[in-house]
Structure 1
């Protein structure tokens, strides 16, 4: 019998993914720990596999176009690992995933942080590997500019190998604690890494014991060939930005094939496209809600959102077409996605920021609970996804609605669990122990 089930992560980004959400009635005034706790409680009640907190290492002090500065609630946030460590005793089965950049952190530090979280949470930690992109992040870490993409990915490749090698420092039975002989651990069951590579020198061993399931889960997101190759070789969960079924199927097949080429079982790499559900009692009500959410985006913030990848378009007619723009190798995947979307749908500048400023280019599923479940089932059964990274336009309202309405519909169809299978993240995801 086929027991494959949809995997769900809840992506928690401050007050939600709506650029101007803080201005909407009912949204909490601040993304404090209480909001993260509420989101974790909702997600665990909905039997989600994982709570995921994205991160960046710079305050969003953008004033492009001029006048945008001071309008966004995303200028500050809490450090994800601290939040997840605090959430671990308040939750029991849901996985706890955080972003940490290989461009700015040393692999020994990464290994130690996530191994510790895995112990604190009883085997529920996951590391989202990123290389970072923003020059502001670089300048907060002693760099004049961001290293070239090829350099960042080469460093990431090596960092993942070092981190996983450090997690394997100790055998599970290394700590013999033999009071008769006075031996606390068996030296034969611990290994120095002795890694000397182009980017890192790390002797090891890690000064954290082997974690409850051997290693934290490795998560990665990458659309470029380098990102896909890193995912195929190292990742156990892949986040992806897709809004077209055919393109999602192509991406899904590609990363699975890359995993096989590296001698891996493709079932051990779970592809989770981002999805932003917009629910209503009827399809018309859902479409109306989406329209209202789009209309509530501050134009200055919408233009600031586009400026990250397309440059300042504020001098152009908002209701005119997207101009012809040269390709930029520094940020190819998101830039190309947005330009392709704009040209295929004949979108104006205003329509493009309204389309992307909430879901950020991810799949929008708009309709009743049945409609949203239909979309998820199609992607899941047609080779486009193993599950979804569920994004909330407004927190905690939209996650609450998804758990109350969509989760029962997925369960009714036999596509989603009715209880947790395990108290560890690997156990719930069906991933092997290490």
Structure 2
């Protein structure tokens, strides 16, 4: 067998040793779309030959490298050298991951990987190490924030966790494409102290108590948006409140069907079906909510008459005085104004949702009903994230213990 290692003499007279070896073929991809080209005769991807040229200073070095490559090819761990950067990997992964997802989901992927691009974008993929991934996490936890708070401060553990998960997925794609042999982010974790600090921060975000809910509702009882505030307090998501249509409300039967959502993504209003199959649900309305909706419907009729041709009949339940549909940011601002007027503690609308679900769970409503009301398919998620023990429920537990202990 001929010696695969050839002696070469460079222009300057220096002697080196070179060999050419076949490595794993790669799929042929369309130059425009990047999609893998399929052979119509076989139905299999078309493949093109790939060769690797290696040059070393001594024959021994060349022989050792040749043996290493042959061994790694035999056991399936060989990875050909590549100049792919992390920024290029991010682009490749985003293109694959967002092919068939909703715009809001695609935006969440892009947001998560923006931190990878910023911190590691120029790094060669094949030089990425666990230390680099840990450096990314430390940076995100301490100083990566640019919007949504004070610039230069740390991001939430949830945001960091989402980015870490997307990075792992991107590196798994790199493994499938034969660009790296292992996923260096696989065993990297978020520091325990950061998780502890995050739990403490979330504990400080306390939903309204029963008394605070009553105080708020008493203050807005005669407000134009009284029915809208009630919808937020019966456990609907802000996007569900904004997406609600009058045809989804049966004022005779006293029911409400959650079928669509309306939210803002990158400054564009996105209207879509409910978040999940479980999110599509029909809820029987409490009497106070039903009466408030009837009054709000009547008021909208009066506003239509007053505005004449200037009224826009959007068909939505939550509209402004000219009938125009609103967005979630508008709903939040209006809710916060009314919290300030009422003199109650400012909470997120999602915390109002928490308050509703907690009250139901702490007052004997079965867990399965609470989860279905919330529009969740995972019962444990509802209990873990949305249900918070309140003083009244803890007092009931104490009374039960008193019965046991005599």
TM-score normalised by structure 1 residue count: 0.24
Higher relative contact order (CA 8 A, sep 6+): 1
- Higher alpha-carbon Rg: 2
TM-score normalised by structure 2 residue count: 0.25
More helix, by proportion: 2
